[in-house]
Amino acid sequence: MKVTVIGSGYVGLVTALCFAEIGHQVVAVESNSRKLRQLQRGNATIHERFVPELLKRHLLKGIRFTSSIADGMQSPDAVFVCVGTPSAPNGASDLSGVFDAIRDIASHLRKYTVIVEKSTVAVGTGDKIQTCLLQKGGADPSLFSVACNPEFLREGSAVNDFLEPDRIVLGTDDSRARDVLRELYRPLIDGDYAATSRSFKPLHRSSKVVIETSVKSAELIKHASNAFLATRISFINAIANIAEATGADIDQVAAGVGADPRIGSQFLSPGIGFGGSCFPKDVDELRRIAERNGFCFDLLAEVQRINAGQRQRFLDKLKSAIGALAGRKFAVLGLSFKGATDDVRCSPALAIVKRLLEEGALVSAYDPAAIDNARHELLSSRIEFASSSYAAISGADALLILTDWPDFACLDLHRVRKLLASPIVVDGRNLYRPDEMHGAGLHYISIGRAAVSATTDAEPARITRIATEAIDLPAVNG
Q: Catalytic one among 18, 148, 278, 346?
A: 278
Residues contacting residue 179 through CB under 8 Å, at least 6 positions apart: none
Give percent helix, percent strand, percent coil of the chain, each to the nearest 5.
Answer: 45, 15, 45
| DSSP tag of 406 | G
- Please give the Cα distance from 395 to 171 (Å, whole number): 55
- Looking at the DSSP bridge assignments, the partners of residue 176 are none
Assess contact for 250 and 449: CB atoms under 8 A: yes
Mind giving me the DSSP string for 237-252?
Answer: HHHHHHHHHHT--HHH
Q: How many CB atoms lie within 10 A of CB 50?
A: 22
Per DSSP, the three-state class of 132 is: helix
- 410 is annotated as an active-site residue: no
Q: 348 burial class (0-12, 13-18, 19+ CB within 10 angstroms)?
A: buried
Amino acid at 305: R
Per DSSP, the three-state class of 128 is: helix
Q: Where are the beta strands (DSSP E) in 166-301?
A: 167-171, 209-213
- Catalytic annotation, residues: 278
